[in-house]
Structure formats: C-alpha cells, structure tokens
C-alpha cells in the first residue's frame, strides 16, 4: 500500500474513533505515573510483593508526588477455565482482593497481557479471548493494561502474506483489545508495547493507545538508557494529552547507574513527557533515590498540562540541548554532556535567543532548586560527564 493511502486510512480511523478518544484523553491527560514490577522483580513477583510496593509508594511520599499506578507485569497468568476465563496463578490467590487493597491506598492497579497465545515469558496470552479478558480485568478492578506483542509477532504476523498484511494484523489485534476495554465501560489505560515497530507513534492513537513503547527494553546501564533516551529525537510531534510516546520504564534506584546518570535519566524522561513508571524496589530506597523520583519540579515538567513533548534543539559532538514547551510560554531546558566519565566537566553555552527568548528571562536550576535571576543572551553552564543541568526558563 502506498504511504499516502496509509495516511488517509489512519486519518479516517482517527475521525471514526473520536468519541471514545475523548474519554481516553481524560484518562491519560498527562503521562501516566506509577510503578511496574518487571525491571526489578521480573518473574519474582507475587501478591505480597505488590502489596508491599503499594504501601511503600504511600510511605515514601511517591503517591503524594503524583505516582498512581501499581502495575503487575508478566508472569501473573494462570490457566483458563472450561468457559475460557483466565485465572491468576498461585502467586496471586485473589486478584480482586489485591485490586481492592491497592485502591484502598488511593492507588490504581495495572496488569499485563499479550495479543498472542503466549506472553513474552511464555504465560497465557489473550489471543482469541480479548473481550473476555477485558471483562475479567474490569471485574477485578484493573485500571491499566500493558499489551505486549510477544508471540503474536512470531505466530500470526510471521505467517502473513506480506509486511503490509502483517502490519494490518497487528493493528487489528490492538484494536480488538481496545474495543474489549471500551465495552467494559471502565476507564482502563491502554499501554501498547511492541517496541516501536512500524512507527507505532504514527498509528498508536488510532487503536486507542494511551501510550506506546517506542523502543526495545531498557536496562540499568547508562549506555542503554542513553541510547534509548537520546534516540527519541524527532518523536515529539506524536505525543499529546491522552496518548504518549513511551521510552520504557525507569531504572532509577536499581543501582546500575551513578547519581549524575540517574539525573540524566529522570531529566530526559521528564523532557520527553514520558510515562514515569518506577522500576525499582520501593521498599528499599535510599534517600537519594526517593529525592530523584519525587523531585516536584522535575515531575512538574513531565506532567505539565500543556502536554507537549520536548525535543533536541541543538547538538554539537557530545553536548546536547533539549527543550520542552511548558504552560505560560515557559520552557524546560536540559543541557546534557555525553562525554566519557574520565573527562572533566564541560562548559556549554546556552543561547536563550536560539530557544525563542529575545528578552531577558528568569532562569531556575531545577535540580539545585535555585533561582539564577534574570539573564539575557548567552549563558554558560558547567555540566558533569554523563550529567545534565536542567533549567526552567520563564519569559
């Protein structure tokens, strides 16, 4: 199919589905915030651990800072009964009771499935049971679904006659679950996970996606986080209230990166208006980790109601400047230094005119929580290697 006709089809799909999309944009008006079990616990996740994470989200102050979703990733799934209804495995004896517990803390519960017959970890997927599974999730009190392509790619899509046919099958599979979720009448955030295939940012919203993963998995190294984070350049135009680019979950607090590197991770994700899904063990956080995850000013950049994703505005060698428009004509600006860590911190010159400010601006250093006063023209900042200076600029 010619790309022009794909665009027409997408526009048509967009127009047809607009009433339900209004409901969705209320659902994820700002990027979803919460916690997900996968990065830290992987398959070692059970009812008691999820409850402990919910408790810790409240006790640590994360809930009050805006984190809401407690998301169970893969490996909760058990068998289907004779009527085809999915049941959780022995690690989750009563999913409804767990949802009630999470709700009693003022939080929401998320769950995980695949459009394929099997999930990525080889557990039962939703293939052929989409509507039934959506009903089950709604009955349990689930508020968020991560829908991970997994075996749908290896089974149905591999057998398709052409790449276009495979693409249509994938779109159909996501649409099917979205229809199932809408039928439940329960607001359930729909989080697409297919690793950014087929430029998902171009069509994710048309199948009801409130977010879509733009990349393959993150891990707890600076190199992987850097590849993913800085690789998001150019995607800002596809994010808006109700549907967001998702560069994968946070690794902050898992121990594999230095403080400057985690500050880069948080700053970049906030500038990207990315979902902020903590991926660490919330019951064992240092005060540094709590401070990184709950910095109100950083979260306010991510959650700014204007709903605009930031993008790269300047790069020279290992130095980059990213900017995100905020309400009231303000801008968040990240100055990054990607030089190797054996080098000294570098001075980078920020040109406020290049950022669209002709007159003097008010500048605040976000991580330092310090007002730097009114500045015009050029401003030099010293940025540590693998680090960032995050500024909030107000006209």
Cα–Cα distance for residue pair 39/387, rounded to 1 Å: 23
Residue 83: φ, ψ to 5°: -85, 0
Q: Does 143 bind ligand GAL (CB under 6 A)?
A: no
Among candidate residues 26, 17, 131, 16, the one with its CA nearest the CA of residue 85: 131
Cα–Cα distance for residue pair 4/8, rounded to 1 Å: 6
Q: Does 133 bind ligand GAL (CB under 6 A)?
A: no
Task: Supply the minimum distance, in Å, between the C-beta of residue 38 and ligand GAL.
Answer: 5
Query: Candidates 82-90, 118-126, 265-273, 345-353 — which segment interacts with ligand GAL by CB under 6 A?
Result: 118-126
Binding mask 198-237 for ligand GAL (x = CB under 6 A): -------------------x--------------------
Cα–Cα distance for residue pair 160/106, rounded to 1 Å: 45
Rg (Cα) of the chain, in Å, rounded? Answer: 21
Q: With CB under 6 A, what is the number of residues at the site for ligand GAL?
A: 10
Cα–Cα distance for residue pair 20/28, rounded to 1 Å: 13
The one catalytic residue in 148, 220, 246, 260 is 148
Contact, 210 vs 189, CB < 8 A?
yes
Q: Does 197 bind ligand GAL (CB under 6 A)?
A: no
Task: Supply the minimum distance, in Å, between the C-beta of residue 75 and ligand GAL.
Answer: 7
Let me know if 55 is a catalytic residue. no
For 317, left (φ over 0), alpha (ψ -120 to 50), or beta? Answer: left
Q: Does 120 bind ligand GAL (CB under 6 A)?
A: yes
Contact, 156 vs 173, CB < 8 A?
yes
Residue from 166, 193, 266, 389 touching ligand GAL (CB under 6 A): that is: 193
Q: Does 260 bind ligand GAL (CB under 6 A)?
A: no
Taking the least distance from each CB to ligand GAL, the nearer of 38 and 367 is 38
Residues counted in the chain: 395
Let me know if 148 is a catalytic residue. yes
Q: Does 124 bind ligand GAL (CB under 6 A)?
A: no
Among candidate residues 165, 180, 229, 170, the one with its CA nearest the CA of residue 202: 170
Query: Candidates 79-87, 117-125, 268-276, 281-289 — which segment interacts with ligand GAL by CB under 6 A?
Result: 117-125
- Binding residues for ligand GAL restricted to 74-93, rule: CB under 6 A: 74
**Pairing between strand 361-365 and 319-325?**
unpaired
Contact positions vs ligand GAL (CB under 6 A): 38, 73-74, 119-121, 148, 150, 193, 217
Point out the residues that are catalytic.
148, 217
């Amino acid at each position: 199919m010619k790309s022009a006709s794909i665009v027409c089809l997408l526009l048509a799909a967009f127009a047809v589905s607009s009433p339900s999309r209004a409901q969705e944009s209320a659902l994820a008006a700002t990027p979803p915030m919460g916690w997900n079990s996968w990065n830290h616990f992987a398959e070692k996740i059970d009812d008691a651990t999820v409850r402990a994470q919910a408790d810790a989200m409240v006790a640590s102050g994360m809930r009050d800072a805006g984190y809401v979703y407690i998301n169970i990733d893969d490996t909760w799934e058990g068998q289907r009964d004779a009527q085809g209804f999915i049941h959780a495995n022995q690690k989750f004896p009563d999913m409804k009771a767990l949802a009630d517990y999470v709700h009693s803390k003022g939080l929401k519960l998320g769950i995980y499935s695949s459009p394929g017959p099997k999930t990525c970890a080889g557990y039962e997927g939703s293939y052929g049971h989409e509507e039934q599974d959506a009903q089950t999730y709604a009955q349990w009190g689930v508020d968020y679904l991560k829908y991970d392509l997994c075996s749908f790619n290896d089974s149905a899509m591999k057998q398709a006659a052409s790449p276009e046919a495979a693409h249509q099958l994938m779109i159909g599979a996501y649409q099917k679950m979205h229809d199932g979720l809408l039928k439940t009448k329960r607001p359930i955030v729909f989080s697409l996970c297919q690793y950014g295939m087929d430029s998902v940012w171009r069509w994710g919203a048309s199948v009801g996606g409130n977010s879509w993963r733009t990349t393959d998995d993150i891990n707890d190294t600076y190199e992987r986080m850097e590849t993913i984070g800085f690789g998001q350049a150019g995607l800002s135009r596809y994010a808006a209230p109700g549907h967001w680019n998702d560069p994968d979950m946070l690794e902050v607090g898992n121990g594999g990166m230095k403080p400057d590197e985690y500050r880069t991770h948080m700053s970049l994700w906030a500038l990207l208006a990315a979902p902020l899904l903590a991926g660490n063990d919330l019951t064992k956080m240092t005060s540094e980790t709590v401070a990184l995850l709950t910095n109100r000013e950083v979260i306010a950049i991510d959650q700014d109601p204007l709903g605009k994703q930031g993008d790269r505005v300047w790069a020279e060698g290992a130095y980059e400047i990213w900017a995100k428009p905020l309400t009231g004509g303000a801008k968040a600006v990240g100055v990054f230094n990607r030089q190797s860590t054996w080098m000294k911190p570098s001075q980078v010159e920020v040109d406020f005119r290049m950022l669209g400010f002709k007159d003097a601006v008010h500048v605040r250093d976000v991580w330092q929580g310090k007002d730097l006063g009114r500045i015009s023209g050029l401003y030099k900042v010293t940025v540590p290697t693998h680090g960032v200076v995050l500024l909030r600029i107000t006209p």
